[in-house]
């Protein structure tokens, strides 16, 4: 079967210690190559896919493959998405794997809600291995943004996001609360009040709480 098989794609995660994300030359090359893919994808998705496959840096390769998949069709679209998720897995930290996987997840959600749900569940499992609440929250925030407007998919991610937020604190956690509040409202409105109360007491919290009046 040519369509993406989430269980095969994510059957195992090996957090690679040999991938050094800060290697400057690879990063610069990846940024430039990703930009070229972005420019050519709508006019020549095949050439964009070929260029994306050649990117060494897994973060930028994942994003570029997702961009090429967005403008491709048929079995090739699924193959590119599978390659994008595989590139994401090459990274060394779970929060980076999940965050960059949000790019192909967004494209997959437009193709198949069922397969996107399978992938979302697996990515949430990966995110749960991230011990740092803020990093976990940021990764899960990226996933929610990728499936915004899709309540069924959001409901698979939002409870884990809320758990990460409520386990942390500080200005950056407060920012995640504000930035994801309306997404939570779409799928899990019962979580809005505890999230609002977790925010620092200030005018921003007052606005969150005011939005719950009558909810």
What ranges do the domains of the chain cover?
Answer: 14-92, 112-215
Residue 71 backbone phi and psi in degrees, to 5: -105, 5
- Identify the band that residue 92 occupies on the pLDDT scale cut at 50, 70 and 90: confident
- Identify the band that residue 22 occupies on the pLDDT scale cut at 50, 70 and 90: very low
Record the pTM.
0.88
State the alpha helices, DSSP H only, in the chain.
6-9, 24-40, 45-53, 58-70, 74-89, 94-111, 113-127, 133-146, 151-166, 171-187, 192-198, 203-210
CA 179 to chain centre: 15
pLDDT at 19 over 50: no
pLDDT at 38 over 50: yes
Mean pLDDT for the stretch of residues 6-19: 49
């Amino acid at each position: 079967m040519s369509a993406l098989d989430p269980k095969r794609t994510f059957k195992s995660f090996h957090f690679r210690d040999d991938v050094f994300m800060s290697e400057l030359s690879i990063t610069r090359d990846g940024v430039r190559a990703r930009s070229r893919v972005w420019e050519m994808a709508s006019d020549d998705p095949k050439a964009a896919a070929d260029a994306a496959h050649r990117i060494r840096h897994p973060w930028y390769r994942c994003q570029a493959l997702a961009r090429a998949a967005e403008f491709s069709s048929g079995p090739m679209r699924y193959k590119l998405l599978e390659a994008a998720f595989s590139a994401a897995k090459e990274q060394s930290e779970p929060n980076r794997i999940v965050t960059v996987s949000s790019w192909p997840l967004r494209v997959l959600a437009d193709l198949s809600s069922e397969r996107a749900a399978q992938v979302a569940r697996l990515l949430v499992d990966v995110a749960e291995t991230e011990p740092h609440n803020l990093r976990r929250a940021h990764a899960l925030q990226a996933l929610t943004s990728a499936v915004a407007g899709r309540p069924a998919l959001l409901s698979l991610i939002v409870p884990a996001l809320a758990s990460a937020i409520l386990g942390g604190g500080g200005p950056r956690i407060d920012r995640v609360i504000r930035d994801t509040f309306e997404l939570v409202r779409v799928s899990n409105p019962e979580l809005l009040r505890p999230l609002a109360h977790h925010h620092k007491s200030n005018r921003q919290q007052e606005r969150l709480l005011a939005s719950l009046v009558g909810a």
